[in-house]
Structure 1
Amino acid sequence: MKQQYEILTTIRYRHDFFQALFYEGIGIRIPAATGKQLLNADLLLKQQASGCTLLYNSLGAGMRTRSGLLGSNITLVFEIVLKDPLFYNYTAIDTNDITTRCFMFGNDTANAPGVLHRYSYADAADLRGTDELQETYFTKPFGLLVLRLDESLQDNYLIHFKARSTYWCYYLMSEQLAALAHPVILNNNGVSCFSEPLQAALPERNQVPVLVSKDPIPLSDRSPDILKLADRAPDGNNKHKVIISPLPSPEINRISAAGRSWHTNGKTYSEIFLY
């Protein structure tokens, strides 16, 4: 049988944490029932690291045009696999009860344009309880992708995740840093964007100065701004001595409870320890 595959739709993954154009932290698993549907309809799912493409054989018997195939009203259900164990550390997703919930993506007409979720970013609105799923899964999937092959199917889609924004906390751990008279954190415009030093009690340590960002800062694999620790002159003329520049960003593979004694409920914090 002759084969010539044409594109039905293309899906790409993006995550704002990564400055690279596409995200490689998720993939697709084809259930056995869906595999049979693909075979019977002469369809092919081609996967790449940062997305997938659904193809049809334009030389196959029967439905050989895109419009003809999209009149078949076939529904394909794929499992979405999470390949990144640190995903929830840097993603703006409410993780309450995540063990009993999974993402539901698809080309529902109620979704935002060009994406496979309710709004421009995937969020808690796209989570469904496992008790709501039509099938029972031995292992809870990260998500399901439901594609209806009808006239609503677009040429291109995104699954797009938003980076978590947190209040950054810099702990002055060494004796030299803790002894700074007027520590301040400045952005690349020389503007103070962190609080005055607070005192935090750490296990087996005395009180440690900590500076907290005034506003939440998006997490990123590249720092969007150059932050620097300085010791400001006490005369108020904005003169300062730079101590550390640039300051490191939070490490997403580390979770600390160092500031729980003074953290504000409802806010998310990231701790960075300077020595």
Structure 2
Amino acid sequence: MKDTGSGNLTTISHILLLGFGNLKELWIPLFTGFLAVYIISMAANLLLVVLVVLDPHLQTPMYFFLSSLSCLVIVSTSNISSVMLTGLQTGNVMIALGGCLAQLYLFGALATVEYFLLAAMSYDRYLAVCCPLHYPSLMDSRVCRQLVVGSWVGRFLFMRILSLLLIALSFCGPCEIDHYFCDFQPLLELSCTNTSMVQTVTRHKAFSTCSSHLTVVTLFYGMLVAVYMSPRDGTGLNPSKALSLLYRVLTPLLNPFIYSLRNQEL
């Protein structure tokens, strides 16, 4: 902690992630289970990317979007799982405030890119079903690249605005959060300044897009809204920590199977 020179007010320089420290008897099975899920998720998504790159028959808009989603999932899952698995080995993780904000920025940026990729995939399927004769001209390789690049550029710019709002906050402690990674709400609870603007921005973010991919959306958006809209009473099991496991760990695992099982080519 660092003294700010204003009475007893201090700012924190490091944050302790408690992770699953209250479940010591389950550390080994949790670590084994999450590691297995992580490995399977990485292997499945990487395999999907390799298949799309190597097989000319799969180089279509639909599989281009699927491979882009898999690349995104590989990066985003590694960003979260690495810290979570480390916490399960040591009991907790001490991370610098700057590193915590960086992880939060990457997590938020990748998550919001995923929203737009799902929306682009929905638009692609809409054109394929409703406009089959015009589909090749409406959804060519140039349009696909523009949609993917636009998703990345636009959402990283959005997260830059949110990051500037977070950097402007003062974090006065306590210097620990009951989570396994640096998520929005637990980090905001450490702030000793007004966080209403940041909370308003993240609330709108949760409802920013929707998708017709009902299975993925139910898991991803449903859990996302539940995490950021659920009340915190300070007692019992932290609901956001449990729910975020589903949309940050389970959904990346299921994505390649949900999509590939419905496609004869794969």
Task: Identify whether the pair has TM-score above 0.5, normalized to the shorter chain.
Answer: no
Which is higher, the Rg of structure 1 or of structure 2? 1
TM-score, normalisation: structure 2 = 0.23
Per the normalisation by structure 1, the TM-score is 0.22
Structure number with the higher helix fraction is: 2
More strand by share: 1
